[in-house]
A and B are shown apart, each in its own frame.
Chain A
């Protein structure tokens, strides 16, 4: 947990942005909106959410599309979508540096960027990644090398109200018991992330009175 860092308002021209790092994984998220949306994407009673994910190098491919959809579905659950009808919120995530925790870092970056943009939400959310070593131990916030050696890796996203799970992505095999253990450990780790959010926001508001 000690290795989480965040800088709010990193981009001057976007409505909200955040640079978020977990260990040596860094993601930059930018939120623009609620803004104008073209007719074909316009919903009469809710906001249109558009998420774009750009990898460090190369073009966005299928893997990036998956990440986009995880982020979009997460955000849809917490943003009060009915408050912004016929508008769009554009979320852009740029992976700056990757060390295995790209999804968790981008989810957290998106949350901080949404807070920075003051988009109305039910709660905040935090992503935590863990991996299972062949020896059977669980590592929270592993590195790329640790993930390569592990038998399974899972990312969970929790909301802050009751700490409930709102999104999960898993690779490899986890049996029910190990899965529950992973989930519980990540849930505990998420609490630290939420208090980190609170400290970051408090700093920002207190320094400007």
Chain B
């Protein structure tokens, strides 16, 4: 019935806007040697791939199909870097709010140089930056603050004196894109430290409080305008705040 939707030609051009229920392509692994990967927002059933979210349908050169949608609520995914808030301590674990439907846990041994004798003490309300190693819909998510070589690599407790704010998830993804000049543009005016969690939490620290507010407002621009527009306006916005 969604008759004005044509299955998109994915080989070129701008990404298509899709709605739930739209047929993306027919795919039968028994008939073709082609292997494809499905990312968020797509479902394979009865030999067809359909969309389950609305958003822009994208395809990477490595044949990963996914829907880039504007969402505010975080659903944990394995290997995501997130910013969490310590809720409480329970035995050998801390409970952490990462903005998902359930609190995540982190073992006190999952920090750099932590042992049973030298444990990292964290207080309720502390912020931590970590990586999800367990994230599936049937289990509580679990974080770690070390990589597979036991190094912190920037993860761990965030220092005092910064500010934390929330942005929609697509803004967080946009900010950490390697080819995105936005954060560099801000650094032309202000020296700052930034931590972006894929759960939409952004932490910023600068020398002066006014500058933090300026950076925060610059980033919040992305919620209402496109990247190109925001890149043009960012310096003006920063100037108006400092």
Chain A residues in contact with chain B, CB under 8 A? 15-16, 32-37, 78, 80, 83-88, 115-124, 158-163, 190-191, 194-195, 197-198, 201-202, 204-209
A194 and B226 in contact, given A118-B69, A205-B56 (Cβ under 8 angstroms) = no
Q: Which 5 A-B pairs have the closest CB atoms?
A: A123-B21, A163-B1, A118-B71, A120-B52, A121-B20
Contact with A along B58-86 (1 / 0, CB 8 A): 00000000000111110100000000000
Name the residue of chain B whose CB is nearest to the CB of A190.
Answer: B1
Interface residues in B1-39 by Cβ distance below 8 A to A read 1-5, 17, 19-21
Q: Which residues of B contact A85 (CB under 8 A)?
A: 137-138
CB atoms of B17 and A201 under 8 A apart: yes
Knowing that A78-B20, A88-B101 are A-B contacts, what are 9 other residue pairs whose CB atoms are under 8 Å apart, sorted by A's residue number?
Answer: A83-B137, A115-B20, A115-B53, A119-B53, A120-B52, A124-B2, A198-B17, A205-B54, A205-B55
B204 within 8 A of A: no
Q: Give the Cβ gap from A49 to chain B, nearest Cβ, in Å.
A: 14
Pair B21/A124 contact, Cβ less than 8 Å? yes
Contact (Cβ within 8 A) B73 A15: yes
A16 to B168, CA, bound (A): 11
Choose from A80, A120, A158, A201 the contact partner of B19 (Cβ within 8 Å). A201
Given A34-B101, A83-B137, A198-B4, are A123 and B17 also a contact pair (CB < 8 Å)? no
Q: A118-B53, A124-B21 are in contact. Are A191 and B41 (CB under 8 A)?
A: no
A contacts with B: majority SS = mixed
A117 to B71: give the CA distance in the assembly, Å. 6
Closest to B137 in A: A85
By size class, the interface of chain B is: 20 to 34
Residues of chain B with a CB closer than 8 A to A208's CB = 70, 225-226
Whose C-beta in chain B lies nearest to the C-beta of A44?
B138
Q: Say whether B102 faces chain A, with CB atoms less than 8 Å apart.
A: yes
> What is the bound-complex CA distance between A207 and B227, given in angstroms?
11
Verify B2–A194 contact, CB threshold 8 A: yes
Q: Once bound together, how far apart are the Cα atoms of A159 and B50, in whole Å?
A: 15
Q: Look across to chain B and name the residue whose beta carbon is closest to the beta carbon of A191.
A: B1
B19, B41, B75, B101: the one within 8 Å of A124 (CB):
B19
Q: Select from chain A the residue with minimum beta-carbon distance to B140.
A: A86
Minimum C-beta distance from B172 to chain A (A): 14
B228 close to A (CB within 8 Å): yes
Residue of A nearest to B69 (CB): A118
Residues of chain A within 8 A (CB-CB) of B72 are 15-16, 117
Query: Whose C-beta in chain A lies nearest to the C-beta of B102?
Result: A36
Question: Which of A34, A158, A206 has the most C-beta atoms of chain B within 10 angstroms of its own C-beta?
Answer: A34
